[in-house]
Amino acid sequence: MTQIIKLHGDIDINNVANRQDITDIPDSDCCLDLSDVSRIDSAGLAYLIECRQNLQQQGVNMSFRGASEALLKLAKLYDLTDIFISSKG
């Protein structure tokens, strides 16, 4: 069963260091619900990708849902759209 983890507010350079480490939460596959994320910058994107990579190393799959148009545009700049494209809406 996939665990849903809902993120809220801004995920940016001003607060990414203070966010709880997502890799400490799941013990099974998880999906980050980004629908309540109001703002994300490149530091926030890097945080999400790093969490995903750390979980993959532990054998846990992480997917995303609710990615905003702004996040998809940012991901496109870094050629990461495929990670988020199925999560739109």
Closest residue by Cα to residue 63 from 38, 83, 88: 83
pLDDT for res 35: 95
Are 52 and 80 a contacting pair, CB within 8 Å? no
The alpha carbon of residue 44 and the mean position of all alpha carbons in its chain are separated, in whole angstroms, by 8
Q: Tell me which residue range forms the domain holding 81.
A: 3-87
User: Which of the two residues, 40 and 1, has the higher pLDDT score?
Assistant: 40
Render pLDDT for 29-65 as a digit per residue (tens, 0 to 9).
899 999 999 999 999 999 999 989 988 898 889 999 9
Report the CATH number at residue 11. 3.30.750.24
CA distance 35 to 6: 8
Q: Compute CA distances 37 → 9, 12, 56, whole Å.
A: 5, 10, 23
pLDDT band at residue 74 under the 50/70/90 scheme: very high
pLDDT for res 85: 73
Share of the chain above pLDDT 90, in %: 56
Q: In the chain, how many domains are there? A: 1
